[in-house]
Amino acid sequence: MEKNFESKLSESAKSMKASEIRELLKLTAQPEIISFAGGLPAAELFPIDNIKKTAEELIEKDGRRALQYSTTEGFNELRNVIIKQRLEPMGIKAGLENILITSGSQQALDYSSRIFVNPGDTIITESPSYLGALNAFKLADPNFVEIEMDDQGMKMDKLEEALKTEKNVKFIYTIPDFQNPSGVTMNLERRKKLIELANKYDVLVLEDCPYKELIFDGEPLPALKSMDTEGRVIHLGTFSKTFCPGLRIGWIVADPFITNKYTMLKQGSDLQSSSLDQLLTAKFMEDNILEEHIKKIVEVYKKRRDVMFAAIDKYFPKGIKYTKSEGGLFTWVEVKPELQSKEILEKALEKKVAFVPGDSFFPNGGKTNFFRMNYSCMSEEKIEEGIKLLGEVLDEYYK
Amino acid sequence: MEKNFESKLSESAKSMKASEIRELLKLTAQPEIISFAGGLPAAELFPIDNIKKTAEELIEKDGRRALQYSTTEGFNELRNVIIKQRLEPMGIKAGLENILITSGSQQALDYSSRIFVNPGDTIITESPSYLGALNAFKLADPNFVEIEMDDQGMKMDKLEEALKTEKNVKFIYTIPDFQNPSGVTMNLERRKKLIELANKYDVLVLEDCPYKELIFDGEPLPALKSMDTEGRVIHLGTFSKTFCPGLRIGWIVADPFITNKYTMLKQGSDLQSSSLDQLLTAKFMEDNILEEHIKKIVEVYKKRRDVMFAAIDKYFPKGIKYTKSEGGLFTWVEVKPELQSKEILEKALEKKVAFVPGDSFFPNGGKTNFFRMNYSCMSEEKIEEGIKLLGEVLDEYYK
């Protein structure tokens, strides 16, 4: 007998929707497609031999710990090496009491809304913003307030306007470096202003920082957390973009009171992240495998980006704008306001090319003439070929 | 400057508490303590050599998949081998559309309350029940209704009474086999009755099934999910007790509509469980490493249980009752009603012996004269010694 269980659902579950991107990625995963849709690191660059050797040694010498339950907070050796190798170079001061290991930063995003947001509370985001974060936040049924960006990041006058007028703002969510999806980096002056505004209006800042180390041009800007004078920045890190996302390891860095709340939530929600993934990741850092890998992928991704941007300049119709991203994985394309990027995608798929329509990156919807393109997972040849094909599709709209 | 962020918290986060057991386990983890407090499998029995070999082969042959993002649902090969090796032998019919891989069954417990429970909705539990489940459920702020048990499981007349009178019952949470903490198994007749009542009163059943395969005496009873005629049983499995909990792999088996809701929640909450843990676990099953391991641990745990029960009979004062568990990891001890198991623990710790006081296993509190003892992680010698010491402590209360 078929039963309908709809009526059993919680209010939150009734409104759950499958992520459009995840569904789209399934479609575009066919090998004959040239896909600029994903946000994946390049698997062909994974240092398989080193990973194999590290795994062997770890299981042989420390197998019982790597396979047994461990603490919710995460292994000390992992948290210590994150402090030393990832946080100190960013100017972030932290001790063990500030850090919790999470299962990727996606989990930290979900936890952030569970810990701070009652239904109807406000989350301020960049416009556009990372779809995965929006999907996580939506589970808490917030009010989204979007702040317009330009090529220097969130506009600070618009942010202040929102902070003045909006009630119950729980946090400002930002990806300051090589933002997903826009590719934009927030400049230094705005970083300072953002911290000043957060202090003035007494709100928290959620700094999502997955791409910072994938820098191609110029010098890195300071992390918001390094400029935080009141403990109100929650910094999220992950290895999913710099190393291997199949190992689900991320971290939060926050005021100890806040970190402790995240830890209690993690106790109830999944006890701990994979012991094996944690100890492997710690060893990859201790043995400098991660550092070497980042150097290698930055070199390769930079070339791929250069090829993509040169191809766009060559093959796309005049009048199309895109972000000259200086790092990270994405560029963001703006076409004429009357165009529908979903329709363009349909035409592109006929030519076996894919990207992600921009619509769902706007938490309150309504903007249809943008799309996101990734340059990290395709070879230079495929990128050139795909952009050329996409140019042919776009030409039809710009005749 | 120190800030107080208490006022920023969501209602749910304000009431979060650290798990007493997790905190206690930290205390009792000192090597000189004979601890019956944990719920861990015996790490000295992990098949380290086989695991090492499997990991080497997997990373060499299939490293890119094992280290890259994968689907939220979990790898098909893992779900298929779970169907074949774990579910079919239990009489549970399932296809891929019924199964989602979770990060241990703790995650499935958290998801269950997120998907079904609005604040104030009722969850029916056995009394006592698994503390980790209660902690997960509490995040959704439910009303707990406890059903008394005897040595055959939940009393069905009490269950029917509750189903008749309670409003908004979302699900009945049960661990039918070798329950944590009581060690009790629900008999066949009551299993049938439970399904009948769930159908009659239109409620869901959450069957938590981590211990079923750790059976020492008699024949296994059918899983509730195998007796489910209306798709209303949600079955939770895990390798945390039968294999290695450091690999965070569990699964839910449910009606496709329900499984789909869990999957959407997982997309937002952590994208996917560890790719490496998933593919390793699939290979452990395909290569029969898991089956061999279960045979070995059942043999060892059975002996340890026998030693513990014989020692209890020998050293504990007369009048103390305990469950003659036929499988699983625990027994449950009942002392005189006027005694406080927390106080007994303090005395026991002076003699370097630990157990878990029973209080927090009762969702609504109030029962102080029970404690839980684990027999899987200590050697037979240590068990004999620890029970003897504990007998000396208890003698003081029974003079």
Model pLDDT, residue A31 = 80
DSSP letters along B150-175, please? ETTEE-HHHHHHHHHH-SSEEEEEE-
Residue positions counted in chain B: 399
A226 vs chain B: nearest CA distance in angstroms?
Answer: 15
Please give the Cα distance from B256 to B135 (Å, whole number): 27
Asked if A13 lies within 8 A of B274 by C-beta distance, the reply is no
Cβ atoms of B184 and B130 within 8 Å: the answer is: no
Cβ atoms of B278 and B101 within 8 Å: the answer is: yes
Please give the Cα distance from A40 to A44 (Å, whole number): 11
Helices within chain B (DSSP H only): 11-14, 20-28, 48-67, 76-82, 104-116, 131-138, 156-165, 188-200, 256-269, 275-286, 289-315, 341-350, 380-395
Residue of A14, A67, A115, A289 to mutate when probing chain B, most B C-beta within 10 A: A67
The phi, psi pair for A177, rounded to 5°, reads: -110, 120
A247 touches chain B (CB under 8 A): yes
B17 touches chain A (CB under 8 A): yes
**What Rg value do the Cα atoms of chain A yield, rounded?**
21
Its ipTM equals 0.95
Q: What is the pLDDT of residues B41-71, one digit of tens each?
A: 999 999 999 999 999 999 999 999 999 999 9
Model pLDDT, residue B22 = 66
Residue type at position B65: R
At a CB cut-off of 8 Å and minimum separation 6, what does B64 contact? A43, A44, A46, A48
Strand ranges in A239-334 using DSSP code E only, listed in sequence order? 250-253, 321-322, 330-334
- The tens place of each residue's pLDDT in chain A, 399 residues long, gives 457 899 899 999 998 877 666 677 677 777 889 999 988 899 999 999 999 999 999 999 999 999 999 999 999 999 999 999 999 999 999 999 999 999 999 999 999 999 999 999 999 999 999 999 999 999 999 999 999 999 999 999 999 999 999 999 999 999 999 999 999 999 999 999 999 999 999 999 999 999 999 999 999 999 999 999 999 999 999 999 999 999 999 999 999 999 999 999 999 999 999 999 999 999 999 999 999 999 999 999 999 999 999 999 999 999 999 999 999 999 999 999 999 999 999 999 999 999 999 999 999 987 999 999 999 999 999 999 999 999 999 999 998
* Mean pLDDT on B74-101: 97
Residues of A in contact with B272 (CB under 8 A): 248
What's the burial of B55, exposed, middle or buried (CB within 10 Å: 0-12/13-18/19+)? buried
Model pLDDT, residue A21 = 67
A226: Cα within 13 Å, side-chain hemisphere:
16
The phi, psi pair for A370, rounded to 5°, reads: -130, 150
Q: What is the pLDDT of residues B183-221, one digit of tens each?
A: 999 999 999 999 999 999 999 999 999 999 999 999 999
Q: Which residue of A has its CA nearest to B265?
A: A16
Please tell me whether the peptide bond between B220 and the residue prior to it is cis, using omega within 30 degrees of 0.
no
B174 touches chain A (CB under 8 A): no
Model pLDDT, residue B17 = 77
User: Could you say which residues from 276 to 315 on chain B have a Cβ atom under 8 Å away from some Cβ of chain A?
Assistant: 276-277, 280
Displacement of CA A379 from its chain's centroid (Å): 22
Asked if A271 lies within 8 A of B71 by C-beta distance, the reply is no
User: Could you say which residues from 250 to 269 on chain A have a Cβ atom under 8 Å away from some Cβ of chain B?
Assistant: 255, 257-258, 260-261, 263-265, 267-269
